[in-house]
Amino acid sequence: MGTVLDFIVPAAYFIAAVMFIYGLKAMSSPVTARRGIIWSGVAMAVAVLVTFIHPKVEGNYTLMVVAIVLGGGAAWLSARRVAMTDMPQMIALYNGMGGGAAAAIAGVELLKLTSGAVTLDQVTLILAVLGGIIGAIAFSGSLIAFAKLQGWMKKSWRFTGQQALNAGVFIALLMMGGVLTFFEPTPEILALFFLTALVMGVLMTVPIGGADMPVVISLYNALTGLAVGFEGYVLQNPAMMIAGIVVGAAGSLLTQLMAKSMNRSLSNVLFAGFGKADEGSEGMAASGEMKAIDATDASIQLAYAEKVIIVPGYGLAVAQAQHKIWELTELLQARGVKVSFAIHPVAGRMPGHMNVLLAEAGVPYDLIYDLEDINAQFPTTDVALVIGANDVVNPAARKDTSSPIYGMPILDVDKAKNCIVIKRGQGTGFSGIENLLFFEDNTRMLYGDAQKVAQGLIAGIKSLG
């Protein structure tokens, strides 16, 4: 029986790993994303079920079942109830759970080592320690990111000497990791090691500004994947190794993409402190004044336009206006208006946030364009309709060298013939930077909740016959 299991278990883990890779590949396109999620879910189910017959699992079935029921039940309920506006913090929370699980695996294996229950070769021991560091940092850092997104914590918290403190804590963490790796470890050192790693994750994340949350989420996603891959090697579990490495690599590429989309180098993201745009210089003062428009006049502009580009932002998510915006789009299309949607890579609070919202409303994928594919179309666009977006459409990124976002690639909505901005009020938005777009001669401000405003636009267009 043991010989059969020795073949079945690794084979099942390998099949699960292949399914993970296929699922992740499918998630790269909105068209196949749902299929990718299903494949990845099936892969996870296979990996969990085969663990019950793993030769090294000795009588812990009750605990395993209890953990699966409690964890799965909590995940099912929370996923069913979460609002789309809260999806970023849910992603951050669940991502943290993955890092915490990897750190827990490292803790268990290292605790066995301190008690003499097992022996580990040097490579395995190093990977266990590294996985513990990375997983614990990803866990506590993701919890802080969740608290910021949920509004429980100030967007950024900085103090004099913060970088020096962070460096000191990190050096201490590495020294304890060295003790665990090359000297006789003790339970006390092990406990202090994980406590320091958790503190490091908190210290890394508290200075991060809210506007940089897409980078934070993708970075901790990469760290979680890396930690899982390392601990997969420790357990000699090919599914964990392959899935962790793939997720780590994908998360790293996504982090670089997010950093580039905000005009930051990866080293700047990691070491210079996130969210500098939240504080300090706000750039040059805007000249002129904001010019308001009502829903009736805006609907006339839209109805008689030949080409309209809609730019969704977090305000659309807050108002849950995606369904009304799609209804508005269908009305415009029925009148012969060409309508497209423009998505900035860091629009919303997480990568792909706007794509998910539009997909939920049934917007066809072929109407949705990324920044680099649609920017050239704005000069020939009759109306650019901006819904709750701020930094990603701010011309200060091109015009104001003193602006914190100078050099950041933006959607060139200011180059459209007319621009209508749907916004609740005259505030500066999430990052606190004045948006020069609001003061442009071709811009009109349509104030109000995005869903109610969209309803007004729909009524206005219908009244035109």
Residue for token pair 């990977």: 127
Q: Where in the chain is the domain with CATH 3.40.50.1220?
A: 295-463
**Under 8 Å CB-to-CB from 194, ≥6 apart: which residues?**
103, 107, 132, 136
The first and second tokens of residue 19, run together, are: 């399914």
Buried (b) or exposed (e) across 423-443, using 16+ Cβ within 10 A? Answer: beeeeebbbbbbbbbbbbebb
How far, in Å, are 152, 180, 181 from residue 113 at the CA level?
Answer: 39, 9, 10
Q: Tell how far CA 291 is from the center of its chain.
A: 34
- DSSP letters for 298-335: HHHHHHT-SEEEEEE-HHHHHHT-HHHHHHHHHHHHHT
CA diameter of the chain = 82
Does the domain formed by 295-463 have CATH 3.40.50.1220? Answer: yes
Catalytic residue among 278, 391, 400, 412: 391
Sign of the four-CA dihedral 359, 363, 365, 370: negative
- CB count in 10 Å sphere of residue 8: 13
Give the pLDDT of the chain (465 residues) as one tens digit per residue.
456 667 788 889 889 988 988 998 888 777 788 899 999 999 989 988 988 888 777 777 888 899 999 999 998 998 888 877 787 888 889 999 999 999 999 999 998 887 776 777 889 999 999 999 999 999 999 999 898 888 788 767 777 888 889 899 999 999 999 999 888 778 899 999 999 999 999 998 888 776 677 788 888 999 999 999 999 999 888 888 988 998 899 888 888 888 877 777 666 655 554 344 444 445 555 667 889 999 999 999 999 999 999 999 988 988 889 999 999 999 999 999 999 999 998 887 777 788 888 988 899 989 999 999 999 999 999 999 999 888 899 998 888 888 878 888 999 999 999 999 999 876 666 556 788 999 999 999 999 999 999 999 999 999 987
Q: Is 294 a catalytic residue?
A: no
3-state secondary structure of 35: helix
According to DSSP, the residues that pair with 369 across neighbouring strands are 342
Q: How far apart are CA 406 and CA 399, in angstroms?
A: 8
Could you give the count of Cα atoms lying within 13 Å of 125 in the half-sphere of its Cβ?
19
**pLDDT for res 271:** 57
Total-model pTM: 0.82
Rg (alpha carbons) of the chain, rounded to whole number: 25
